[in-house]
Amino acid sequence: MDNKINKLALVSVMLCFFAMGFVDLVGIASNYVKKDLGLNDATANIFPSLVFFWFLIFSVPTGVLMNKIGRKKTVLLSLLITVVSLLLPAFGESFGLMLVSFSLLGIGNALMQTSLNPLVATVVRGGHLASTLTFGQFVKAIASFMAPYIAAWGATQAIPSLGLGWRVLFPIYMIIGIAASLLLLSTPIHEDGPVFDNGAAPTVGHQFASCFQLLAKPIVLLSFIGIMCHVGIDVGTNTTAPKILMERLGMTLDDAAFATSLYFIFRTIGCFTGSFFLRIVNNKLFFIISITMMALSMLGLFIGTTKPVLYTAIALVGYGNSNVFSLVFAQALQSVPEKQNEVSGLMIMGLFGGTIFPLLMGFASDAMGQAGAVLVMAVGVAYLFTYIRNVK
C-alpha cells in the first residue's frame, strides 16, 4: 500500500512541477505585452524582472512557513495564488493589471519552488534526489516550451469571440493548475516534522537568523550565486532569443516566438536525458560538459547572423542549462541535511537572479543591441565555470 501511495505522491508532485513551469510564460508574454502596449526593451523587461523579484522577498519566509504548516500545505497555498494570477488576464491586458498578474505569479512560484523541492525529498527517500529533481525539471520544461506555441496559436487562430488573443494561454494553464491542486489535496503524504537543536521550535526571528547564517557556509553561498546565474541565463535566453532573431533576421514576433520554444525543447530534452545520465555519469563531468555547451552558445548568440548558427546556439544553451539547477540545488541541500527547509529557501531566493539579469540585459540591449544582453548572460556562464570544483 505504501508503494502505491508513494507512486501517487510522485505523480502528484510531478503535476505540481508542470504548474511550476507556468512562470516561464513570462518570457514570451512580455514580448506580446511589449508589442501590444508599445514599450521599449527596458520597460518590457520589468515584467520578467518583477516575477522573480518576489523570490527575494518570499523564499526565506516560505522556508520558515514550511516549518510551521508543512511542505504539502505550503505547495497547496502556492497553487492557489498561481491560479488567481492566471485568472486576472482574462479581464484585460492593461499595464497595471499585467503587473499585478505577474507579481502574483512570481509570489506563487516563489512559494512553490521553495516548498516543492523539499517535498520531493520527502517522497523520494534514500537517494536519487538529483535525478528525481531533474525529472521534475523535465516535466516543468514541458509547460515552459508549450507556452509560446499556445500564445502564438491564440494570437493567430484562437476563437475571436473569446477576445483573448495570445492571452488564451492564461485560462488554459489555470485549468491545469486547478487540477494539480485537487490531486495534491487528495494525495496522502507523510511528512516528518522539522528537527530543532534543543527540541523546541525557536522563534520566527531566530529561524530567519539561523537561515541567513547558513550563507556563512561556503558551499551554500557559492550555490546561492550559482542558482542566481542559472536562472538569469534561463530567463534571459527566454526573453532575448526572439529579440535576437527579430533584430538580425528581420522576423516578426509570431515567427520569432519559435526561439523560446526551441530553447525549452532542448531544455526539456536535457532534463529528460539528464535524469538518466545523472544516475550513471560522474556528476562533475556532466556539469563540465553542460557549462561548456553554454559557453559555446554565448559565442554563437554574440556573433551569429544566420538562422543555423543562432538556432544551434539557442539549442546549446537550452540543453546545457537544463541540469544546472538540479546539480547545484542537490549539492546545497545535501550539504546541510538537517536544515533542508532553510537551505531550500535560500536557494530559491537565488532565483532573484531572474530579476537582476533581465534588467541589466534590458539596459545593455538598449545601449548596444541584443549583443549587449548576451554579454550580461556570458558573465553568469563564466561564474558557473568557477563552481565546477564544488560539484562532488
In eight-state DSSP terms, residue 197 is T
Cell representation of residue 283: 556528476
Phi then psi dihedrals of residue 267, to 5 deg: -70, -40
In eight-state DSSP terms, residue 203 is P
Question: How open is the CA angle 188-340-109, to the nearest 5 degrees?
Answer: 70
Taking all residues of the chain, what is their mean pLDDT, rounded to a whole number? 84
Tell me the per-residue pLDDT of 180-190, one tens digit each, with 9 for 90 and over: 999 999 988 87
pTM of full prediction above 0.85: no
Query: Distance between CA 137 and CA 146 in Å, rounded?
Result: 14
Q: Which residues contact residue 302 at a Cβ distance below 8 angstroms, ignoring those fewer than 6 apart?
A: 371, 374, 375, 378
Q: How many helices (H) and strands (E) does the chain have?
A: 18, 0
Scored b (16 or more CB within 10 A) or e, 301-326 reads: bbebeeeeebbbbbbbbbbbbbbbbb
Query: Distance between CA 116 and CA 208 in Å, rounded?
Result: 20
Query: Distance between CA 343 and CA 334 in Å, rounded?
Result: 9
Low-confidence ranges of the chain (pLDDT < 70): 1-5, 125-130, 157-163, 192-204, 207
Residue given cell 515584467 in the structure block: 47
Cell representation of residue 39: 514599450
Cβ(384)–Cβ(284) below 8 Å = no
**What's the pLDDT at 4?**
47
**What's the pLDDT at 203?**
67
Query: Whats the size of the chain, residue-wise?
Result: 392
Query: Distance between CA 306 and CA 251 in Å, rounded?
Result: 12
Residue given cell 520531493 in the structure block: 120
**What's the pLDDT at 5?**
45
